[in-house]
Amino acid sequence: RKEVEQDPGPFNVPEGATVAFNCTYSNSASQSFFWYRQDCRKEPKLLMSVYSSGNEDGRFTAQLNRASQYISLLIRDSKLSDSATYLCVALGTGANNLFFGTGTRLTVIP
């Protein structure tokens, strides 16, 4: 079983829509979680960290549910520029195990 699993999509949504991605992780001892964004043929870039209490950054909201071992990312009022692949990342115990999901591809349609 993969450490981090997410629906690969693609998610095709109209501009202005709200879209949510979920991600599950297998290691209950994972300490920290992140969402990265990766544009086509570019490197991943940190979008936001995921805090236990949930956190918001503009149109983006991240949630963590430790009991069910999943993380979510909600994007409100989708923009064309939100089209990208979103990678879910979990940091397990130990120093080297930063686990990446395979990514969920989002396309926002005019």
For the bound state, the minimum distance from the C-beta of residue 107 to other proteins, rounded and expressed in Å, comes to: 16
44, 61, 62, 71: which one binds other proteins (CB under 8 A):
44
For the bound state, the minimum distance from the C-beta of residue 61 to other proteins, rounded and expressed in Å, comes to: 19
Angstrom CA distances, 76 to 8, 19, 57, 95, stand at 20, 7, 11, 34
Place of tokens 């923009």: 79
User: Does residue number 92 form part of the binding site for other proteins (CB under 8 A)?
Assistant: no
50, 87, 106, 108: which one binds other proteins (CB under 8 A):
87
Question: Which among 59, 61, 63 has a CA at the least distance from the CA of 76?
Answer: 59
User: Does residue number 102 form part of the binding site for other proteins (CB under 8 A)?
Assistant: yes
Residue 73 Cα to chain centre, angstroms: 5
